[in-house]
Chains A and B, each alone.
Chain A
Amino acid sequence: GDSVTQMEGPVTLSEEAFLTINCTYTATGYPSLFWYVQYPGEGLQLLLKATKADDKGSNKGFEATYRKETTSFHLEKGSVQVSDSAVYFCALRPLIQGAQKLVFGQGTRLTINP
């Protein structure tokens, strides 16, 4: 079945460091791919998405590129801030008409120190 594997955390960085959180997936066909962010005590919020191969999603300085060849969707940010501390989830939505179920990775907790 469809699955998402994320880089294990927790990840701790200093402010202004470069961030990469790895995400790879297994799916039939070409799913849509997403990154969600969860701040403490809150629900998940969509950070960015990509719906086809080679698409680049971007938001708030974060980027991720849909790589079909490597079945990956790694999250990157050039210079992180303390406010980026959160749990990040990679997810896929299978390309099945009428179905909108998301499959999530296990989440990666990110802590940014000043």
Chain B
Amino acid sequence: NAGVTQTPKFRVLKTGQSMTLLCAQDMNHEYMYWYRQDPGMGLRLIHYSVGEGTTAKGEVPDGYNVSRLKKQNFLLGLESAAPSQTSVYFCASSSSYYGYTFGSGTRLTVV
């Protein structure tokens, strides 16, 4: 089915470990985003991309890095995980015509 696919769906990390979250979309959307969702705070933008090879910081970028080497993929990296990064992470893509499509989320726990 067309849409946005996130992997993994769940992950538990120890403090200081690193990991990469993968987002893939098959709708040929130009824009891609990473959000984190925390209780009572809605969704906050971490990083976003307006096209292949470009990335930009969002509202809460510290502790995260991203890359968009291919148009369909947007990777979110945590180099040294901290408990404050325990959250649910959502990837989304959009185009000028079709608005946003969200992935189903990755639940990350850092212990």
Q: Using Cβ atoms and an 8 Å threshold, which residues of chain B touch A46?
A: 99-100
The proximity string for A residues 20-56 relative to B, scoring 1 for CB distances below 8 Å and 0 otherwise, is 0000000000000000000001111110010000000
**Chain B min CB distance to A7 (Å):** 13
**Chain B min CB distance to A22 (Å):** 15
A-B contact count (CB 8 A): 45
Given contacts A43-B103, A43-B105, A89-B43, contact A100 B90 (CB under 8 A): no
- Give Cα A50–Cα B48 distance, bound, in whole angstroms: 24
Given contacts A101-B33, A101-B48, A107-B42, contact A45 B94 (CB under 8 A): no
In this complex, which of A42, A43, A49 has the most chain B Cβ atoms within 10 angstroms of its Cβ? A43
Number of interface residues of B (CB under 8 A): 23
Interface of B is mostly: strand
B31/A100 in contact, CB under 8 A? yes
Given contacts A43-B102, A44-B102, A49-B99, contact A104 B43 (CB under 8 A): yes
- Give Cα A104–Cα B35 distance, bound, in whole angstroms: 10
**Chain A min CB distance to B6 (Å):** 8
Residue of B nearest to A106 (CB): B42
- Give Cα A107–Cα B45 distance, bound, in whole angstroms: 15
Asked if B61 lies at the interface with its beta carbon under 8 angstroms from chain A, I say no
Q: List 29 A-B contacts (CB under 8 A).
A: A4-B42, A6-B42, A41-B104, A43-B4, A43-B90, A43-B105, A44-B43, A44-B90, A44-B92, A45-B102, A49-B99, A89-B42, A89-B43, A100-B31, A100-B96, A100-B100, A101-B33, A101-B45, A101-B58, A102-B43, A102-B45, A104-B35, A104-B42, A104-B43, A104-B44, A106-B40, A106-B41, A106-B42, A107-B40
